[in-house]
Structures are given as C-alpha cells and as structure tokens.
Amino acid sequence: MTEALSFTDIVRLIEQDIPFNRLLGLEVEAFTGDAVQVGFDAREDLIGNYALRVLHGGVISATLDLVGGLTALAAILGEMETQTPEALGERFARFGTIDLRVDYLRPGAGERFTATGVPLRVGRRVAVTRMELTNEQETLIAVGTGTYITG
C-alpha cells in the first residue's frame, strides 16, 4: 500500500535531498496552496560584497526561483486526486523552471531573510508566479517573476 507524502516528507526532500538548497541553508516555513514561504539566516558564505556585507545576487535568485517553484507545485498538488509517491514523482519529473526574472531593489543586508510566492496563473501546461524577498525588518530586497512548466 502506498501512502500520500506528508508535509514533513516534502520539506525534507527540498531541504535535505537537494544539495544546493542544503548548501544555502534554505528552510521551508510554509508550503500550502494558501502560503509558501522559505527562510534562511545570514551567513559568511552567502556574502557577495565584503565591504557592504550583503547577500550575493545568486543567493537571492536561487531563493526566489525555489519559492516560485514551490508556489506553483503547491497549487498543482492541491488539484491532484492521488498523491502517492509514484504520482508525485511523475509530476515532479515533468516540472521545471522555464525562465526567471529577478529585480534587485535594495542591498541584501540583514540577519534573517524570508521569501514568499503568489501564483498569478497555474495552468495544465504553464504556471506563472511572483516572488518577494524581505529581511527581518520587512525591507523589500528583491522581487521576481517565474514561469514554470507544469505538465
């Protein structure tokens, strides 16, 4: 008998089984059809400019891409009738980022960063999401728009 993947299973998959997410230290704080949120702590390794001590642009784009993808996946999962590991695995295998735009609005200064996503449209073939990255003082650091292949 196969069982549906739990929230804990999916979070572990994203945080632990994707090496680069582990390297970044990304934590999935929410992952439902209503809210998707990813957070991470400031860390020496993630710096892009020593003088200013701000996040590297690549850390920002990686985080926005992940939270956009999770936003699209959460919407898709909500519509799937059976969520067996097999059905999910098949769906995940066809999923991927088509393109990503990132707008760097302000220097990535802070102690804790939070990325959130909103689905603009989730269709059978393509999903479009908008994403934001803020620090612990709710300063808007960057926004993004992502397009994902969904099926």
Residues that bind its own copies (CB under 8 A): 17-21, 23-24, 44-51, 56-59, 61-63, 65-66, 93, 96-106, 120-121, 125-126, 128, 130, 140, 143, 145, 147, 149
Amino acid at 118: V
Three-state secondary structure call for residue 107: coil
Instruction: Return the number of the residue (35 or 118) whose C-beta is nearest its own copies.
Output: 118
Residue closer to its own copies, measured from CB, 1 or 133? 133
Distance in angstroms (rounded) separating the CA atoms of residues 101 and 87: 30
CA distance 95 to 29: 21
**Least gap, CB of 73 to its own copies (angstroms):** 14
Q: How many CB atoms lie within 10 A of CB 25?
A: 15
* Minimum gap (Å) between residue 96 Cβ and its own copies: 7
Would you say 1 or 15 has its CB closer to its own copies?
15
**CB-wise, 60 or 77, nearer to its own copies?**
60
- Distance of alpha carbon 89 from alpha carbon 138, whole angstroms: 36
